[in-house]
Every structure is written in structure tokens, then in C-alpha cells.
Amino acid sequence: MRKLKLFCTIFIFLLLSIQGTVCYAKKQPQSTDAKGYVGTLPDLTSKYEIKDAQTESTPETRPAKDFNTESDIKPIPKDDPAFVNIILKSDKTSQYVNDLNEFIPILEQLFDMIENKENVQVFNAKVYFFNKNADFFRDKYANKPESRFISYKRLLDLSLHAHSIALLRTEAQKYNPYLAYGNEGYIYNPNSITEQLDYLKTEIEQTILILKESN
């Protein structure tokens, strides 16, 4: 009887030990690795979308306008001197040449005045205008390489000669009533003045040719 009680006591003790081991095993996390975090990680990619390279936006392109008719193209202003002289001839001309060209019509008018025997006042007014332009031209290129050009020197020499003839004609008109055209008054003789004007006319003609050849 005593042995039966002892056997029951041992059986109950073993039974309680087995139940405790089973409960402890259920509480332990299941892992095949003894190191690191054991559990479920959150899905970090659920809030982000992978951008497909094929869905990238392309820049909007617009076709260029087709010029199918001549009316769509602005014509070249060939009759405009500014366009011809500045745009079309920009590589062939210079400011110096342009300045020379401005003297050509002045000299042509002065030449015609001598041919037509214009009076002293009209002639002197044109010479004065020519001299003022020549003075500006001289100062503009005095310290530049253009001052060594033949056209530069010839134009200034002509200006001085025209000024001297204009002064001579003014003095002749003033003193003619009082002169007997002797040795001292010969320079004021009408024939002498005509010779001087003819010589000036030849100089003007030669200078115009030099200016035109400079283009």
C-alpha cells in the first residue's frame, strides 16, 4: 500500500514536469538562428512605386512652318542703299571709303560750277562747304594709317587749292575797280583767274577719279 502511494506521487510529479516543459516551449519564438531579430518585418516597398523608364514624359515637339509660297518669305530690299552698302558690301568697304564717297558729289557740283561760270558768291559757298568737310576728314584720319593714302593727301591738297582760288576771286572782285592790271595786279586779271579756275577744274576731275578707284 505504501509502495502504491509512492508510485502515484512520482507519476503525478513527472506529469506536472512534462506539462511545464510543454508550456515553456510554446512561449519560445521559433527561429533557426540564435542571433538577430526574430519576427515579421514591415513591407517598406508598399508605399513606393517603381518608375518605369518607358513611362517618362518626352518633350513636346512642334513642326516648323513650311514655306511653300514666295509670299511667306520677306524679299531682300535691294533698292535700299543702306542694305546694299552695309549688308551686301560689308566685307568690301570701310568707313574710310564711305567718307571718300561723300566727297564725290561735292566735287562734281564744284566742277559744274566752274564749267557754268557761276558767280563768286555761289562758288565760294560751295568751296566753304567742301573745306569744312575736308577739315573734319583731316582731323578724323590724321593719326591713322589712312593719312598715308594718296586719296587722303590729294583730297586735302585740293581743299587748300580751292580755298586759295575762292579767296583770290573774292579779292579780285573787291580790288578790280582800283587796279590797272600791272605787274602787281596781274593775279587779279580776269584771264589769270580763268586760268586758275581751269587748273582747279583739272585737279577736281583727277581727284574724283582717285576717290572712285579707292572703292
Per residue in 81-93, pLDDT tens? 555 555 554 445 6
The percentage of residues in the chain with a pLDDT greater than 70, rounded to a whole number, is: 53
Distance CA 190, CA 186 (A): 9
* 154 confidence band (pLDDT: 50, 70, 90): very high
* 32 confidence band (pLDDT: 50, 70, 90): very low
Question: What is the residue-averaged pLDDT of the chain?
Answer: 75
- In this structure, of 66-75, 177-186, 202-211, the range with the lowest mean pLDDT score is 66-75
Q: Across residues 181-198, what is the average pLDDT?
A: 80
CA separation (Å) from 147 to 4, 10, 135, 208?
147, 137, 13, 18
Q: What is the pLDDT of residue 22?
A: 45
Which run of H or of E encompasses 139? helix 120-141
Q: 92 or 110: which carries more pLDDT confidence?
A: 110
Distance CA 51, CA 166 (A): 92
Q: Where are the beta strands (DSSP E) in 72-131?
A: none
Distance CA 27, CA 200 (A): 131
Q: Across residues 27-33, what is the average pLDDT?
A: 48
3-state secondary structure of 143: coil
The percentage of residues in the chain with a pLDDT greater than 90, rounded to a whole number, is: 46
Residue 159 reports pLDDT greater than 80: yes
